[in-house]
Each structure stands twice: as structure tokens, then as C-alpha cells.
């Protein structure tokens, strides 16, 4: 048969036979199951997002103009806001790109009602981010508690981790929660409040993230989901 087939046809014929083997069929079935599981997870996440959006729209129709910040507008009363814990936002920076300034503005214009400070951490004044952040802080100096910290060159770890550690060392002594942000994150004005509220609800929570934090258990499916999120 091989003499009557050209190389391309012979390759396709060989592949078709290989894909019909029991092992190949098993791998295909497992791949389909994994894809189906991920699709169901995505659909459920979309359902939760849409449900939350509809809840906010209904609350706004009922008079809660700040539904995008909290479910109960009474939470915005001064007596509740003054009891919110102090939060320090640490932003390790390196370089200056097209969208960085807009992202930084979205980060410091938070509507969190508790004590809040922003620490922009750079390696040195030679970093282009230093001058851009300096101008931003001057523009908002009367509205936010923000400062630049020079971390120096890292010698024991990555520069980003070094900047984060220096930021933690220099944060306010009464800070209860630390939020690490990258310079490419565009923050919703209610994000800090939402993250803090979840931490306050469950004191056993050690860390929160805006992205899924999945640790593979050892099975092929868990590793596929882990790689998908990474």
C-alpha cells in the first residue's frame, strides 16, 4: 500500500492509525473532559459576573448610586468608615511605558474610606519611573498620602521582590493590610475596599489575589488548570 501513496497521503494514513489506538483515544477523551471542565468554569464565572452586574443595576434603580462600591449604602456612613483598617499599597516600579501613568492614577484615586498610603518603590532616581511618579505625586499631593522610596540595587533576589520588601519595611507602623500592585494594573476605585472587607469578614485569610491561585494536586487535570491560569 505504501508504494501507491505519496508521502503526504502516507503521513495522513499513519497519523489516522495512530490516533485510533487505545492510548490516543484515552488522551483525546481526557483532553475533551479537561476542556469541558474549563468551559463550565468559565461559564459559571460569567454567570457570577452577570449576576453581580444585574445586582448593581437594580440597587442603582432603588437609589443606591454607590452600588459599584458596596451592597449597603449605609456602609459609607462616617461612623463605619472611621473604623476601617489602615492599608498600605506598595507599587514596585521599573521603567515608564505608554499606559503606566493612567494605571498609577487609577491606583491612587481609590474610594477606600480608611487610612491609606501609597508607596512607589524604584531602584534609583535614574529609573524613568522616578520622574513620572514625582510629577504624579505633586499633582495629587493634597488628596493622597503617597511617596517615592529608593530601594537601591538588589543583591539577593529579583529587583521587584527587593522593592516590595523595602516598601514593607517603610510602611506605616499601624498598617494592617498590604496591597502589592504592579505598574500595569488599572484599579477599580472600589477594589481596595472590597479586598479589605473580605479580609475583615474572615480573619483566617492570609492572602488574597485578584487572580485564581491554584496549586496542582498532582493529577494531569490539576496541572492543566494550573498552566491555564498561569
Confidence (pLDDT) at 220: 62
Residue 112: inside a domain: yes
Please state, for a pLDDT cut of 70, what percent of the chain lies above it.
Answer: 84
Q: Among all chains, which residue has been given the C-alpha cell 472600589?
A: 190
Q: Please indicate, yes or no, whether residues 118 and 179 belong to a single structural domain of this protein.
A: yes
Q: Where are the alpha helices (DSSP H) in 2-158?
A: 7-19, 22-61, 78-81, 100-108, 128-139
Q: Please indicate, yes or no, whether residues 26 and 128 belong to a single structural domain of this protein.
A: no
Q: Please indicate, yes or no, whether residues 17 and 89 belong to a single structural domain of this protein.
A: no
Residue 37: inside a domain: yes
Number of domains comprising the chain = 2
Category of 47 on φ-ψ map: left (φ > 0), alpha (ψ -120 to 50) or beta: alpha
Non-local (6+) Cβ contacts of 178 within 8 A are 87, 88, 89, 90, 168, 171
User: What is the C-alpha separation between 48 and 67, in angstroms, rounded?
Assistant: 16
Q: Among all chains, which residue has been given the C-alpha cell 443595576?
A: 57
Confidence (pLDDT) at 1: 47
Residue 227: inside a domain: no
Q: Please indicate, yes or no, whether residues 7 and 98 belong to a single structural domain of this protein.
A: no
Q: Please indicate, yes or no, whether residues 130 and 196 belong to a single structural domain of this protein.
A: yes
> The domain containing residue 118 runs over which residues?
77-201
Residue 197: inside a domain: yes
Q: Please indicate, yes or no, whether residues 19 and 99 belong to a single structural domain of this protein.
A: no
pLDDT, one tens digit per residue, over 144-187 is 888 998 988 888 888 888 898 999 988 989 999 999 988 777 77
Question: CATH code at 157?
Answer: 3.90.550.10
Q: Please indicate, yes or no, whether residues 126 and 14 belong to a single structural domain of this protein.
A: no
pLDDT, one tens digit per residue, over 42-81 is 888 788 888 888 888 888 888 777 777 677 666 666 667 7
Least confident range of 42-46, 89-93, 226-230: 226-230
Q: Please indicate, yes or no, whether residues 135 and 167 belong to a single structural domain of this protein.
A: yes
219 contacts 226 by C-beta, under 8 angstroms: no
Confidence (pLDDT) at 75: 67
User: What is the C-alpha separation between 64 and 191, in angstroms, rounded?
Assistant: 18
Strands 146-150 and 177-180: unpaired
Residue 224: inside a domain: no
Cα three-residue angle 206-209-210, rounded to 5 degrees = 155
Looking from the CA of 59 toward its CB, the CA atoms found within 13 Å total 17
User: What is the C-alpha separation between 56 and 100, in angstroms, rounded?
Assistant: 29
Residue 47: inside a domain: yes
Residue 185: inside a domain: yes
Q: What is the pTM of this model?
A: 0.63
Highest average pLDDT, of 36-40, 69-73, 87-91, 141-145, comes from 87-91
Residue 214: inside a domain: no
Q: Please indicate, yes or no, whether residues 108 and 37 belong to a single structural domain of this protein.
A: no
Q: Please indicate, yes or no, whether residues 190 and 109 belong to a single structural domain of this protein.
A: yes
45 contacts 212 by C-beta, under 8 angstroms: no
Mean pLDDT value across residues 79-88: 82
Amino acid at each position: 500500500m505504501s508504494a501507491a501513496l505519496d508521502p503526504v497521503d502516507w503521513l495522513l494514513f499513519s497519523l489516522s492509525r495512530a490516533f485510533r489506538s487505545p492510548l490516543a483515544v484515552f488522551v483525546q477523551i481526557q483532553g475533551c473532559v479537561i476542556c469541558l471542565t474549563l468551559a463550565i468554569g468559565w461559564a459559571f464565572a460569567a454567570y457570577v459576573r452577570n449576576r453581580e452586574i444585574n445586582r448593581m443595576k437594580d440597587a442603582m434603580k432603588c437609589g443606591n448610586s454607590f452600588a459599584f462600591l458596596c451592597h449597603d449604602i449605609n456602609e459609607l456612613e462616617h461612623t463605619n468608615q472611621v473604623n476601617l483598617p489602615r492599608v498600605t499599597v506598595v507599587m514596585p516600579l521599573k521603567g515608564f511605558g505608554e499606559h503606566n501613568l493612567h494605571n498609577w492614577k487609577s491606583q491612587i484615586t481609590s474610594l477606600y474610606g480608611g487610612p491609606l498610603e501609597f508607596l512607589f518603590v524604584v531602584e534609583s532616581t535614574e529609573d524613568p519611573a522616578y520622574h513620572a511618579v514625582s510629577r504624579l505625586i505633586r499633582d495629587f499631593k493634597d488628596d493622597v498620602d503617597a511617596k517615592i522610596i529608593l530601594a537601591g540595587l538588589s543583591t539577593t533576589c529579583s529587583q521587584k521582590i527587593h522593592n516590595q520588601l523595602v516598601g514593607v519595611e517603610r510602611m506605616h507602623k499601624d498598617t494592617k493590610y498590604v496591597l502589592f500592585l504592579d505598574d500595569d494594573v488599572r484599579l477599580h476605585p472600589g477594589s481596595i475596599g472590597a479586598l479589605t472587607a473580605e479580609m475583615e469578614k474572615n480573619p483566617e485569610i492570609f492572602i488574597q489575589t485578584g487572580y485564581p491561585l491554584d496549586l496542582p494536586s498532582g493529577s494531569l487535570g490539576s496541572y492543566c488548570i494550573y498552566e491555564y491560569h498561569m
